[in-house]
Amino acid sequence: MSGPLSHVTVLLAEAVEALAVKPDGIYVDGTFGRGGHSRALLARLGERGRLIAFDRDPAAIEAGKALADARLTLVHAPFSALDAELGRLRVERVDGVLLDLGVSSPQLDDASRGMSFRFDAPLDMRMDTSRGQTAAEWLAEASVAEITEVLRDYGEERFAYAIAKALAAARAGGAVATTGQLAAIVEKAVRTREPGQHPATRSFQALRIFINQELEELSQVLPACVERLRVGGRLVVISFHSLEDRIVKRFMRDEARPQQLPSRLPVRASELPQPRLRLVGKAVRPGEAEVAVNPRARSAVMRVAERAEAA
């Protein structure tokens, strides 16, 4: 794909390979985006295979309709609805789940989405433009303490309080309604920044994550993925910043550990509940060649786990 709203799929071959696709299996793509991973999965599936692809972005769902593949079921919902939607589709177990947590390039490059400081546009930031509160609406009513907490917790912004005060003060002259206004206010409030990084980078990231509840969605879906996986099924997650990767790493690690019981409890090791997951390999990162072609891939980390035999 080419053009201003194209999207280059990160770790495409690595993710599909990690899923160990069975031709007649059932797979979930939790973030359809523009269908890069989904197309590759469909190419591996046979006539009896099935792919269920989620996305909460109406534009992504509309783009997916062009695939017109009977094996593909598109679901307009966040991946946190995975358990409920699989139940609705009468799918009991799946052979693999892929979660690509990155924001798609069309979302960043479409000025109307309000996710980038590169354009002056309405401050929206919602991944699902059909529902929910925009970033501008939230900033219009949030307190200094609330803004500080969001910028600090979701953006790891060390100047969170100064930015929050500046945003609150700016509201006296009218709503902070555009990306350009937000970027200018943050740039003035931030005294110094890492070389090569725009002063508003962390603030935009924090607000986007908060408005879309990205970390909460991730924490909610991971247990559902494990519950729905068949024994031997794979969970593959591609993260793009440390907050996401920390959640994924800890979840997979904890699910791969035997349950710890009090040392004096008279229970044999063989009687203990066994871990639900088995870690597969080490974390995978894009190579230099991929980063050179697609600089947005540079922060990606892929982790893989497999559903273990039930005890």
Q: Which residues are annotated as a binding site for S-adenosyl-L-methionine?
A: 35-37, 55, 79, 100, 107
Q: For residue 76, what are its two tokens?
A: 């307009």
- 42 closest CA partner among 12, 82, 11, 71: 71
Q: Are 125 and 207 in contact (CB under 8 A)?
A: yes
Provide DSSP, 62-123: HHHGGG--TTEEEEES-GGGHHHHHHHTT---EEEEEEE-SPPHHHHH-GGG---TTS--B-
Q: How far apart are CA 174 and CA 35, in angstroms?
A: 40
Is-contact 32 56, C-beta < 8 A? no
272 neighbors 258 (Cβ within 8 angstroms): yes
How many whole angstroms separate alpha carbon 107 and alpha carbon 59?
9
Annotated binding-site ranges: 35-37, 55, 79, 100, 107
Query: Cβ distance 222 to 248 under 8 Å?
Result: yes
Q: What does the DSSP 8-state code read for residue 30?
A: S
| 21 CA to centre of own chain | 22
Strand pairing category for 50-55 and 72-76:
parallel
| The pair of three-digit structure tokens given for residue 137, joined into one six-digit string | 């609406």
Closest CA to 202 of 219, 188, 187, 215: 187
Rg (CA), the chain: 21
